[in-house]
Structure formats: C-alpha cells, structure tokens
Amino acid sequence: MNIDFALQLRQLEAPVESVFALAGGKIRDLDTNWDPARGAPVYTIEGKYTTRGWTEWTQGFQYGAALLTFDATGDDGLLELGRDGMRRVMPAHLTHVGVHDHGFNTMSTYGNLLRLAREGRWQATAGDVEHLQLAIRVSGAVQAARWTPLPGGLGYICSFNGPQSLFIDTIRSLRVLAAAHELGQVLMGEHDLRISLLHRLLQHLETTLRYNVFFGQGRDHYDTPGRVVHEALFNVNDGNYRCPSTQQGYSPFSTWTRGLAWAITGCAEMLEYLAEVPAEAVAEAAVPGLATHAEAVQRVGAAAAVTAEFYLANSAADGIPYWDTGAPGLAALGDWRATASDPFNDHEPVDSSAAAIAAQGLLRLAGLPKAVRPPGAERLLAAGLTVARTLFAEPYLATDPAHQGVLLHTVYHRPNGWDHVPEGRRIPCGESCQWGDYHALELALLIRRLAAGGTLPWRAA
C-alpha cells in the first residue's frame, strides 16, 4: 500500500484505539452473563444481548470478537476467552449441514486463531495448528456440499431457505472454501468423486455475480448498475432462474444495504485471494464466465467497482446507509443523501452494521495489489475512512459501559419487526448486533494493521 494511504489511515489511530478500549469490557460482560444453552446472542434489547432463533450464524462473532480485540491489545485473557468459547461451543458448527454461514462461524474463530498462530502471537503447538487446520478443512467441505447444481456448469451453495435460494451473503462465506482448498481439502462425492473446492468456489462466485449483482445491462426493468438483490430464486426441477427475492430487504427491486455491503467485501476478499492463486489453478478449476485468471480478476473487479459506486451514491453524506435504498419512509427525509445520517429520525432506520461491513470492503479494495485493484483507489480509501470516522464516534459508538454492544443503530430484520423500538420512538435505534460489533472490530483492526504497514489477509474472518 502506498505511503499516503498509511498516513491517512494513521489519522484514525485515536478512534480505533477507543473502539478496542471499549470492547474488552463488553466482551467479558457478555461472556459472563450469557448462557450458551440459550443459543447464540444475536442483538440487544435495551442494551442487553438476547437471542433470536432463525439460524445460528452469530456464535462465531461472539468469540471472534475476543480474538480480534486480543490481536489489537495483547490482552491474554481475551485470547483465552475466545479459545475456550471456540472449544466449548463451535465444534457443532463445523458440521452444520443446514446453513450457508460457515465462513462467518468458522473463519471468525478457527480462522482468526490460526492466523494468530501463524503470526506467532500465541504459543500454538503443532497439535494446535493441526486441530485448527482440520476444523477449517472439514467446515469448507461441509459448506461446499450444501449445493444446488445449475445447467451449463454453474451452481451455488444454497441458503438455509432451501435448494431454490441463493443469498448474496454467502459470497463472504466463500473464504472457508478458499482456506480449506489451500490446505489441500477436497469434497468426496458419490463413487469417490473428488470435487475441487476451488471449482465450487468459482461456480458459486460466478452464479452470484450473474444473478445477485446488477451491471446495468438490461436484465430487467430495474437493472441499475451496482444494485444487489438479497436472494435469487431458481426452479430446482430444471435449474432455470426465476426471479429476484428478499428476506430482509424492503423489495426485490430495491437494495437491502447489508446485502450490498456483503457483496462489496466479498468481492474484495475474492480479489485478494485471486492475487495469490496461480493462474494455472484458476484455469484448471475454470467455470463459464471465469475461464481464466485474467477473466476472473476482471469480472470480480467489475462487480466490486460497480457495487462500491452504488454504495457511495446511496448512503448519507457521512457514509452511513439507511437499511434499504427503497424504504418508503426515505421520501419523508428529503435529500437524505446530501446530509449526515440521522439514526433518531421518525421514518426509517439506518443500518450501521452495513456501514461497518462496507467500509472494510472499500478499504480492502483500495489496498489491493495493483494487478487486481479496481480503479479509483483514492476515492475508495477516502470513503472507507469517512465511514470509519463516523462509526468510531458518538452517536454510533456505544460509549455507555452498561450497554453490551459496541456499535449502535444496527438493524437485523426490519420487515419482520424484530428490532427493538425504544419507548417514545417510531423506528428501531440505539441497539447493537453481533455482526455489527464484530465487523466494527474487524474494521478497526484492518485500519490499525494497514496503518502499520501490515495486512489483514482474506484468510482472517
């Protein structure tokens, strides 16, 4: 990364350190007061974490947050908290065949801990390293087995909704396939068929770019460049694409902004991975649309650039998006893109968790090696820093030590009405969620490491 980038990143040194100073106590408080028998903590109500049964995709964030904060602070107690929680709770997630979330759960715990071991940050034995590697290999293969094939050599890891459903979220789960592949894992199928995890990764990646990301090529009447749809639906009898859909957005024809953020950061991670993968390996695992290394870089880079531009054009002036670009109450907010976000308005909630995810993607794109970097790196850097600067200060940073969250004003499921609306308010605000806290810490760690001339590689959560 060029020196000007590092200098600009260092301007956020004080806000970044304040995030980690707050996080340690909150992580300990949650660990002390949470009963794992309840399931995974998901979001807060009046400042206290609670659960919500839908799919167990947040447990890894709880213990991964401890590992990220250890990375930044050197607090050995948080290292042990993360390791102990991983040993006690996470093994069942490694073989969970019913979800598309292995990249979240496995890489935030086993992945982070393996990275820290490789960096010499804790005294890992050879047995420790083998254990972590085996966990990632198993998880990557299990994730790749949750598969819906499509005609023409494509296919996808289906969401927990069923074989007809492709979620944009899963693009950020692909890193567990990449990590498992790099460790030498294959998926064994019927008649001892050896299925390449890199091939499945490329199949899912191309299917996602083809059906969940819009490039302004007239695919339908709402094909706006950079728009992202949460869910693509297929006829599983013949493999034909049917229509866009959404579980958590306002409409299939608007953009749920956390899904947009997953696309930006997922594409950035895939470009980081492609920067390391030999061209011949991509050619050997080639799929339609990603037939060569150069074609893969161009295709993913184009998706990264167009989704990043859409994010910049559809966020408030301080870089924070509202929860969906088509949310009906936005009309009452006037020119909301030209003013700072207002988490306390009476019409539509912001989603700071989408901002934390997207900011990381913007910074990763700006810091990519030149050979795979999309154009406009300086603009992406400036935007990522703007978002981070906003998130790492009030009213988004949860400075109250009695509040168990780190990042305020997150949204989980607006259509289902799951998010807490405080008394006297009309919309959800003031609460946190596990993925928001985790990605805020991951964003802070990314800035900290890049400013010091290091990296936070794609293998990390």
Predicted local distance difference test score (pLDDT) of residue 398: 98
CA distances from 342 to 54, 313, 325, 333, 336 (A): 29, 17, 15, 9, 9
3-state helix, strand, coil in the chain (%, to 5): 55, 10, 40
Predicted local distance difference test score (pLDDT) of residue 28: 98
Q: Which of 190, 200, 102, 189 is nearest to 148 (CA)?
A: 200
Q: How far apart are CA 64 and CA 27, in angstroms?
A: 10
Predicted local distance difference test score (pLDDT) of residue 343: 98
pTM equals 0.97
How are beta strands 231-234 and 241-245 bridged, if at all? antiparallel
Burial (0-12, 13-18, 19+ Cβ within 10 Å), 429:
buried
Predicted local distance difference test score (pLDDT) of residue 326: 98
Residues in the chain: 461
CA 367 from centroid of its chain's CA atoms = 17
Amino acid at 71: D
Burial (0-12, 13-18, 19+ Cβ within 10 Å), 423:
exposed
How are beta strands 165-167 and 241-245 bridged, if at all? unpaired
Residues paired with residue 196 on neighbouring β-strands, in sequence order? 186
Q: How far apart are CA 83 and CA 77, in angstroms?
A: 10
Mean pLDDT for back-to-back runs of 10 residues, the chain (461 residues): 74 96 98 92 98 89 98 98 97 97 97 97 98 98 98 97 98 97 98 98 98 96 97 98 97 98 98 96 97 97 98 98 98 98 98 98 94 91 97 98 98 97 97 98 96 83 57
Predicted local distance difference test score (pLDDT) of residue 2: 54
For 130, half-sphere exposure in the C-beta direction (CA atoms, 13 angstrom radius) is 3
Domain 3-451 class in CATH: mainly alpha
CB 206 within 8 A of CB 287: yes
Predicted local distance difference test score (pLDDT) of residue 461: 57
